[in-house]
Amino acid sequence: MVDINPDIIVQLIVGVGSSILAFLLMLIKIPQSEYHFKLVTSKMAIVISFLICGFMMFFAVSMHGSPQIRDWDLFAMLTIYIVVHFSTSIITYSMTSLLKSEKYRWHTLFIPGLFISAVVSFLLLDSFKSPDRHYFWFMCAIALVTFLMQSFIYIRHFAKAYKTSLQELENYYDEDESHKLSWVRFCYIIAMLSNLFILVYIILYCFLDYKPGIAHIYTAFYLIYMLYLTSNFISFIGSHKLVLDAVARPALSAAFFRRRESERTKKKVQEEELNIDREFLKLDKALEKWVEQKSYCEYAKSREETARELNTTKEVLHHYFLVRKGIDFKTWRTQLRIEEAKRLLLENRDVSTNIIGEAAGFSDRSNFHRQFVRIVGCTPKQWRDSGGRP
């Protein structure tokens, strides 16, 4: 029977647990898509964070009983703090990778952050072994200030990325799909709260005369947090397509076409313009038939799926509306749906406005009311009650 010191049992369990979770994540196959690289990047960032945790836990276990470790509880707290310091940078990078478009790059923020975490960790461990306690506590103060500053910068950066991604999602889908990204934000909030909570435990350790395994409590809690993060990330991979279509890459704009034309020879530009004209002529007929069939009333369809129905691509469809109609496809389709809703409201006065909204192509009640008020200037009920003359 193996005799395990109870002082190191928590670190040993967390070290093994984080290593197993890292291994399981590495085995998970990411589905091929335009977003494949981002998902892999995010997954590997989490794997690295878990491996760092495992390494620090095994390092703490290996140092137990060493004459250099005069206060084991404080050393255990120090090791989990180092894990958290690295995790703050890595988890932010992982979660942001799920959100931001390729045009946004923040490696200039992430890489220096890891370097700072490595330097702080080395100085903390070195100062802990020093007989000068003032030097150690001074380094602890420096580490805490650095940690708080980094956390503040990362939180602001994530909030900006999240806002940008919500806008991209809104531009891509007619319905309110913001809940598809809610897991990323919620999980990041949990991650940062879990990381920042280490400060509470450090303060408790410093000011409590009786230290009831504070380091062990937080270390065990951190394993629960890693389990939560892993399960949610795996769930996100399984149901990611709707969000990923919208945020994987920015929509092709008219500026993109102009830039391509300037880079090509005059002959190629003329050929491309001719091809675009042909595409536009086909789209004119396809859209006319599409409107006659009231296909715009079918909700829960992305622009890419609609483009396939029209036998074109979402890039050509986007360019067509900018050039021919001067508005975005989403705005045009929403106007058609509102016109249909206006007609249905007057012809079916006994039918609920929510059902009318669904029949017109809106799967979300609040989105229907918001769009109706924005375009018509009154609520669906006011439109019906006034007989179409609010």
225, pLDDT greater than 70 = yes
Q: Which residues contact 119 (CB under 8 A, 6 or more apart)?
A: none
- Of residues 248 and 335, more confidence is placed in 335
Q: Tell me how far apart the alpha carbons of residues 390 and 386 are, in angstroms, rounded to a whole number.
A: 5
How confident is the model over 175-195, as a mean pLDDT?
Answer: 72
Q: Give residue-wise pLDDT tens across range 276-326.
A: 667 778 888 888 888 888 887 887 677 777 888 888 877 777 777 777 777
| pLDDT band, residue 248 (cuts 50/70/90) | very low
Give the number of residues written for the chain.
390
The CA dihedral of 233, 234, 236, 240, to the nearest 10 degrees, is 130
How confident is the model over 155-170, as a mean pLDDT?
Answer: 79
pLDDT at 20: 92
Q: Tell me how far apart the alpha carbons of residues 291 and 46 are, in angstroms, rounded to a whole number.
A: 47
Q: Which of 191-195, 236-240, 265-269 has the highest mean pLDDT?
A: 191-195
Cβ–Cβ under 8 Å, residues 80 and 225:
no
- What percent of the chain is modeled with pLDDT above 90? 2
Cβ–Cβ under 8 Å, residues 309 and 295:
yes
182, pLDDT greater than 80 = no
Q: Tell me how far apart the alpha carbons of residues 138 and 123 are, in angstroms, rounded to a whole number.
A: 11
- Of residues 276 and 123, more confidence is placed in 123
How confident is the model over 9-31, as a mean pLDDT?
Answer: 85
Q: In degrees rounded to 5, what are phi and psi of residue 29?
A: -90, 130
Range of weakest confidence among 63-72, 135-144, 274-283, 292-301: 274-283
Cβ–Cβ under 8 Å, residues 221 and 77:
no
pLDDT at 136: 84
User: Across the chain, what does the average pLDDT equal?
Assistant: 77
198, pLDDT greater than 60 = yes
pLDDT at 160: 84
How confident is the model over 178-188, as a mean pLDDT?
Answer: 71
24, pLDDT greater than 70 = yes
384, pLDDT greater than 70 = yes
210, pLDDT greater than 60 = no
- Count Cα neighbours of 113 within 13 Å in the Cβ-side half-sphere: 23
Q: In degrees rounded to 5, what are phi and psi of residue 32?
A: -70, 130
- What percent of the chain is modeled with pLDDT above 70? 77
250, pLDDT greater than 50 = no
pLDDT at 246: 40
Range of weakest confidence among 144-148, 179-183, 214-218: 179-183
Q: Which of 37-41, 323-327, 337-341, 366-370 has the highest mean pLDDT?
A: 337-341
pLDDT at 179: 60
Q: Tell me how far apart the alpha carbons of residues 43 and 49 are, in angstroms, rounded to a whole number.
A: 10
pLDDT at 244: 41
185, pLDDT greater than 70 = yes
pLDDT at 162: 83
- Of residues 338 and 260, more confidence is placed in 338
Cβ–Cβ under 8 Å, residues 372 and 382:
no
